[in-house]
Amino acid sequence: MLTLTDLSHVYANGTRALDGASLEIPTGMFGLLGPNGAGKSTLMRCIATLQAPSSGSIRFRHTEGDIDVLKEPERLRATLGYLPQDFGVYPRVSAYELLDHLAVLKGIAGRGERKDTVETLLQQVNLWEVRKKAVAGYSGGMRQRFGVAQALIGQPRLIIVDEPTAGLDPEERNRFNNLLAAIGENVVVILSTHIVDDVADLCPRMAIINQGRIVLSGAPQQLTQTLRGRVWRRAVGSAAELAELQAAMLVISHRLRGGRTVVHVLADEAPGAGFEPVDGSLEDLYFATLAQSRRAAAPATA
Ligand SMILES: Nc1ncnc2c1ncn2[C@@H]1O[C@H](COP(=O)(O)OP(=O)(O)OP(=O)(O)O)[C@@H](O)[C@H]1O
């Protein structure tokens, strides 16, 4: 269990990226959803001990230890696997050599043990056939799978993956998600993303972060139940009509479907003529939560 308590972070330029975020993250896949700039990467970097928050605490308890992460970052690092949003430059060495080198850095000194680790991981992430090719020449999906292999070195208890499927094509995304789903049972895996389907597909628990605050957390299925009977759909004919609806009711999303714009509205009863009820999806929940949290944050108008 990873426990975050009242985490805040203010960057040197005054940006408040985290604003009293508190969250309990149990064993298993945990989805952290939020729009661009919500504070996900800042939160992931704080948990990964790459930056210290301005205030708050982080505690990681697992079967073999209880770690005060901000006071004992080296203990956390020994049990952490981290796949950052962007690796930056990839060297022109083969996947095998790079993984071997990273295993040395993770403290796996014995040659035999290292060989076993590297070979097992390359097979696990399905890169065995291309192990001798330079990582610099890999496709986006192959790089992300390599990223998982390096994050799994040393059997970590806490794994953080930051926006892993952004930019992957559907087949690669599916392959990547299957790989994540197969990671061990007694591990906390935090998946930070703005792709709602990734969370819907993979995560029994989730939270939504917006403007540095945790605005909702729980089990996706139970959370979407709260929308029952409250999501309504209607096609709109023009931008002016859309603007009218947005002014009159809580429009949680509008998108093109088959060339027509369809709005989803959150309301306890049918909000007007032409609306039909729809089963609320996780995407509706996400948009509804963001719309409500924006409304709460907006200054009251007279
Ligand atoms: N080094 C920095 N200095 C100043 N402001 C920063 C810095 N890093 C991030 N920010 C700001 O902090 C806020 C949160 O950013 P963060 O990268 O944590 O969000 P995010 O949810 O990961 O977004 P994205 O999905 O776009 O990566 C944003 O307003 C961002 O501009």
ipTM of the complex in this document: 0.96
Alpha helices in the chain (DSSP H): 40-47, 73-77, 95-105, 111-124, 140-151, 170-181, 196-202, 220-225, 239-248, 282-297
> Class of the 2-217 domain?
alpha beta
Please state, in angstroms and rounded to a whole number, the distance separating the CA atoms of residues 135 and 125.
14
Using alpha carbons, select from 40, 53, 51, 75 the residue that is nearest to residue 6.
53
Residue 220 has which token pair? 């996706």
Least Cα distance to 190 among 225, 151, 153, 221 occurs for 151
pLDDT tens digits for the chain (302 residues)? 999 999 999 999 999 999 999 999 999 999 999 999 999 999 999 999 999 999 999 999 988 789 999 999 999 998 999 988 776 666 788 999 999 999 998 888 899 999 999 999 999 888 999 999 999 888 888 888 898 899 999 889 999 998 888 778 888 888 888 888 888 778 999 999 888 988 998 899 999 999 999 999 999 999 999 999 999 999 998 889 999 999 999 999 999 888 889 999 999 999 988 999 999 899 999 999 998 888 777 765 54
In this structure, the residue with its CA closest to atom 29 of ligand 1 is 37
Query: What residues does each domain of the chain span?
Result: 2-217, 225-297
The pLDDT value given to residue 174: 86
CA of 81 to the centre of ligand 1 (A): 22
Q: What is the pLDDT of residue 143?
A: 87
Question: Which of 275, 274, 287 is closest to 227 using CA atoms?
Answer: 287
- Predicted local distance difference test score (pLDDT) of residue 176: 84
Q: What is the CB < 6 Å shell around ligand 1? A: 11, 13, 15, 17, 34, 36-42, 194
The per-residue pLDDT for 106 is 87
How many whole angstroms separate alpha carbon 198 and alpha carbon 189?
13
* Type of residue numbered 134: A
Spatial distance between the Cα atoms of 279 and 294, rounded to a whole number of angstroms:
23
Round to whole Å and give the CA distance between 199 and 39: 17
Q: What is the dihedral of CA 63, 68, 70, 71, to 10 degrees?
A: -120
Task: For residue 191, list its beta bridge partners.
Answer: 31, 161
Mode of pairing for the β-strands spanning 158-162 and 80-83: parallel
Query: Of the residues 8, 13, 40, which should be mutated to test ligand 1's pocket, given the most ligand atoms within 8 Å of the CB?
Result: 40
Q: Rounded to the nearest whole angstrom, what is the distance from the C-alpha of residue 201 to the centroid of ligand 1? A: 26
- Structure token digits, residue 60: 């990681």
Nearest residue by C-alpha to atom 4 in ligand 1 = 11
Q: How much distance in Å is there from the Cα of 121 to the middle of ligand 1?
A: 32
pLDDT confidence of residue 300: 57
Contact 265, 275 (CB under 8 A): yes
